[in-house]
Amino acid sequence: MIGLSERLRPKNFEEIVGQKHLFGNKAILRVAIESGELFPAIFYGPPGCGKTTSLELIKKYTDYEVYHLNGAFTTVSEVKKLIEYARSVKNYKKILIFMDEIHRFNKKQQDIFLPGIEEGDYILIGATTENPYKMLNEALLSRAMVLAFKRLSNSDIKKILNKAVDLENIELNENVEEFIINVSHGDARFAINLYEVLSNIARSQNKRKIDEEILQLYTGEEKFSYKKSDHYNLISAFIKSIRGSDPDAALYYLSRMLVGGEDPRFIARRLIILASEDIGLADPTALLVATSTAYAVDYVGMPECVINLSECVIYLALAPKSNTSYIAINKAMEVARKTTDLKVPRHLLNIPDSGYQYPHDFGGFVKTRYLPPEILNEKFYIPKPIGKEKKLKEILNSLWKGIKNYNSSSQKKDE
């Protein structure tokens, strides 16, 4: 029997939920498919966001002879045979090689695709959930356009669940719907498969609605109460506890989220943001700790990654706090929006006889102005005398003495 996820797979562009930047009217991928003029590409994005669905649309709307491979199971010798075939028929057949999990081929193995792409023997589309700029070699990336598929939003998952309910005729209790949306983390396939499991349990009990009792049979939990409001309230309390330098409260809210089924990758992403927004240059190492934690969470997974998260949370909570990077870029962006017509000063242009003084010819620093004359006295970055930023404040005052005074601050509200 065909699974629910396959039966719900979009049959045309209008049925696709999300990815408007790729499949909307006049969007790049839709135009390429409808015109039958595909190009080498790397589809990059999280699981269940529509990468494989695009292949089904390619099969429907184009005359390419499609070969669907998977980097986890396909050998280099198998790919070589397919490439030789594509070369032999290139004058009368259009061949498309769709390689799922292309990152499973190492960077040396990926070289096998280069000559055929260069000669136009076939179109290669690689799909990956991993960062292509880390996992794919530069030669391949220079020949293929990276198309980013976005994680589906909660409203997108809700639309897909509504379609599943219409097809299966098994309704969803509101709390159960929230549970599925929260634990799917933007993965449509996961949400559909979970709904299918729960609907089968409901049928076995002659029920036409999935309620908390059925959810309890699935989760094994007597009470599963992690709702949409919990998602927002707990992450808010978590971030504010770290900002407030209270590791105990931060660890408590971290545990509440993890026990409730929150995606640890979501938590890790928020820690990366916090590291720059609330700690910043008071301790630049905080960003390194947060990004390393995000990698560890992705690499290790649950349940062991909770240790990585705990270490990071304690470090960030006890780090000195400064929001100057956040304030500086916001102020710079505000001024930039109002002054888009300002010309770059002549001495900063890349032209002969501009008058530019190369700092390395003067010991590493030249006391000259770089902002346009109209906003010459603007100051965006106002360092705080906290942690490592205290030293940056001293450096700035030393370099720009007589021109800019970094002891004064316009950040009345934030300081």
Task: Please spell the DSSP secondary structure of 206-226, one letter per residue.
Answer: T-SEE-HHHHHHHH--S----
Among 287, 67, 50, 71, residue whose Cα is nearest residue 188: 50
Per-residue pLDDT of the chain (415 residues; tens, 9 = 90+): 678 888 888 888 988 998 999 998 889 999 999 999 999 999 998 888 888 889 989 999 999 999 999 998 999 999 999 999 999 999 999 999 999 999 999 999 999 999 999 999 999 999 998 889 989 999 999 999 999 998 888 899 999 999 999 998 999 988 888 888 877 878 898 899 989 999 998 888 888 998 878 877 776 654 455 566 677 889 999 999 999 999 999 999 999 888 877 888 889 999 999 999 999 999 999 999 999 999 999 888 878 899 999 999 999 999 999 999 999 999 999 999 999 999 999 999 999 999 999 999 999 999 898 999 999 888 899 999 999 999 999 998 888 887 776 665 444 433 3
User: What's the rounded Cα separation, in Å, for the pair 232 and 236?
Assistant: 6
> Which ranges of 339-412 does DSSP label H, i.e. alpha helix?
389-399
Rg (CA), the chain: 27
User: What's the rounded Cα separation, in Å, for the pair 206 and 196?
Assistant: 15
* Burial of 230 (C-beta count, 10 Å sphere; 0-12/13-18/19+): middle
C-beta neighbour count of 174 within 10 angstroms: 9
User: What's the rounded Cα separation, in Å, for the pair 322 and 319?
Assistant: 10
Q: Which long-range contacts (CB under 8 A, 24 or more apart) does 53-60 make?
A: 53/9, 53/10, 53/16, 54/22, 54/23, 54/29, 55/98, 55/125, 56/9, 56/10, 56/11, 57/10, 57/12, 57/13, 57/33, 58/33, 58/96, 58/98, 60/11, 60/12
Q: Which residues pair with 44 in a beta bridge?
A: 128, 148
User: What's the rounded Cα separation, in Å, for the pair 35 and 26?
Assistant: 11
Write down all domains in the chain, each with its CATH number in brackets.
19-148 (3.40.50.300), 154-219 (1.10.8.60), 228-318 (1.20.272.10), 343-399 (1.10.3710)
Residue labelled with tokens 């007589």 = 402
Residue labelled with tokens 């529509």 = 50
User: What's the rounded Cα separation, in Å, for the pair 219 and 215?
Assistant: 6
Q: Report pLDDT for 330.
A: 95
Q: Report pLDDT for 414.
A: 38
Instruction: Label residue 74 left, alpha or beta by phi (over 0 means left) and psi (-120 to 50 means alpha).
Output: beta
In sequence order, the 6+-apart residues with CB closer than 8 A to the CB of 367 are: 399, 400, 402, 403
Query: Residue type for 176, please?
Result: V
Is residue 89 within a helix (H) or strand (E), and if so which, with residue range?
A: helix 76-89
Q: Report pLDDT for 260.
A: 78
Kindly state the tokens that stand for 65: 């002879």
Predicted structure pTM score? 0.59
Residue labelled with tokens 């006295």 = 377
Q: Report pLDDT for 318.
A: 96
Task: Considering only the C-alpha atoms of the chain, give the largest distance between any 2 of them, rounded to a whole number of Å.
Answer: 85
Length of the chain: 415
Among 168, 163, 170, residue whose Cα is nearest residue 9: 163
* Burial of 395 (C-beta count, 10 Å sphere; 0-12/13-18/19+): exposed
